[in-house]
Structure 1
């Protein structure tokens, strides 16, 4: 069975995207409900590491760079199973949610 490389990248990219969604919304949930634990800090670290990776790759996911070898598509979702509008605005949407979570988290810490 020969699975196309672009399909493998799209599946992997989508799974990683889902993982980071869970992490970001977990951080937001725990900050809102003041249920801060060690997993929050691990999640914050993971999201910051992802940010550093994006900075290192000029704001592109390394999987996007890899997928570019297998597609000439100009769509924003050529490398991930997301609607095009979400793929296009993904960084803005989730950075904003993460920033709100961090602000609430900072408030909780300073309140303690």
Structure 2
């Protein structure tokens, strides 16, 4: 049987892997917009990030894994549920929302204005 500590560790590992995936997708979107290489994967990435945003909205700006991890920790640190520096966990949504928005603007520019 898993202890609370092991459950929290499992959630932290899963959360970090998912975070790395979505950061990679956001960087890819930004990159394809910068180098004018928009493709199907760019649009799939945008769809995935929008879907993630809808999930966050449904959970009142919290990742469902954060909600789950709260069962196993009463820490008030922003990184209690993920392997990130606390400052990055605290500002994560702001940083990557800005990068995503810039990427989407570039992709839209490259696709519809800068033929």
Q: Same fold (TM over 0.5)?
A: yes
CA-atom RMSD in angstroms: 1.1
Segments of 5+ residues of structure 1 without an aligned counterpart are none
In the alignment, the residues of structure 2 paired with residue 101 and residue 38 of structure 1 have an alpha-carbon distance, to the nearest angstrom, of 15
1:2 Cα deviation after fit: 4.4
Look up the match of 1:99: 101
Look up the match of 2:16: 14
Q: Deviations over 1:42-74 (max 9, x none)?
A: 000000000000000000000000000000000
Count of residues in correspondence between the two structures: 112
In the alignment, the residues of structure 2 paired with residue 37 and residue 97 of structure 1 have an alpha-carbon distance, to the nearest angstrom, of 18
Runs of 4+ in 1 over 2 A off after TM superposition: none
In the alignment, the residues of structure 2 paired with residue 63 and residue 46 of structure 1 have an alpha-carbon distance, to the nearest angstrom, of 17
Segments of 5+ residues of structure 2 without an aligned counterpart are none
- Match runs of 1:1-112 below 5 Å: 2=2, 4-109=6-111, 110-112=113-115
